[in-house]
Amino acid sequence: MANLFCKQAQNYVETRPSYPEDLFRFIASKTPQHDLAWDVGTGSGQAAVSLASLYNRVVATDTSQEQLSFAPRLPNIDYRQTPPTLSPTDLHQHVAPPSTVDLVCVAQALHWLDLPTFYDGVNSVLAKPGGVLAVWCYTEPRVDPAVDTVFWRLYTESGRFWAAARQMVDDEYRSLLFPYDPVDGEESTGPFEFAAERAMDMGTYLTYIRSWSAYQTAKERGVELLTDGMVSDLEKAWGGDGKAVKVVRFPIFLRIGKVRT
């Protein structure tokens, strides 16, 4: 994961969607306390900023210093670069002491993690009882039938350049091993569905595609996914006016549960 988003960190922060406030309100309503949240794989801080309005303190970690350099600075967010793996001692020293975290969240990054090791760390730092783990992913964007038809052709062609873990996102986290109990008021751990929206012109939409890890991998292998023909087809589907702004919708799928005691 550490190397997949370094080269396009600026593209990432410029084009990735901000998550909807109703997602964070739902999550925060399930944690009895709102003192400390840990945002794992924070990237450029999209989730951390929203968490900071609901929790007294946020520790936001990522393996990429390039991503962290674009994260907004707020007084109650502590951004920390961490190595790809953390021993229990390092976790408690550099992230949080045992049983002190009210919420651990992972936005669009869980599929890059070693899950057994990650879950062990989560269970160590979550408050007991009541500590909550919330993880979510967003799937590919929806614009309109014309644009989406061309997009899905491109996405199919990009398939061989995605890491195998990407399948978890395509599966909307439905088959995810998630060893947690349903939070209060819910009968399951989800997925619960939300949506993010972002206004984009054609140039921003293409920049979003260039922010894919698969796009970077393809470029390193000498393959340009956005060929002249593909860009031309997308421009025609967009309506011929690349400056026209369209609403791009990203479906979000949330798994949420409380730690088992």
pLDDT (0 to 100) of residue 16: 58
The pTM (predicted TM-score) of the whole model is: 0.88
Q: What is the pLDDT of residue 234?
A: 96
Q: Give me the pLDDT at residue 7, please.
A: 47
C-beta separation of 36 from 96 below 8 A = yes
So what's the pLDDT on residue 14?
Answer: 55
pLDDT on residue 9: 47
Per-residue pLDDT of the chain (261 residues; tens, 9 = 90+): 444 444 444 554 555 578 999 999 999 999 999 999 999 999 989 999 999 999 999 999 999 888 899 899 999 999 999 988 888 899 999 899 999 999 999 998 898 899 999 999 999 999 999 999 999 999 999 999 999 999 999 999 999 999 888 889 999 999 999 999 999 999 999 999 999 999 999 999 999 999 898 999 999 999 999 999 999 999 999 998 878 999 999 999 999 999 987
Q: For residue 15, what pLDDT is reported? A: 53
Give me the count of residues in the chain.
Answer: 261
Report the largest interatomic distance among the alpha carbons of the chain, rounded to a whole angstrom.
58
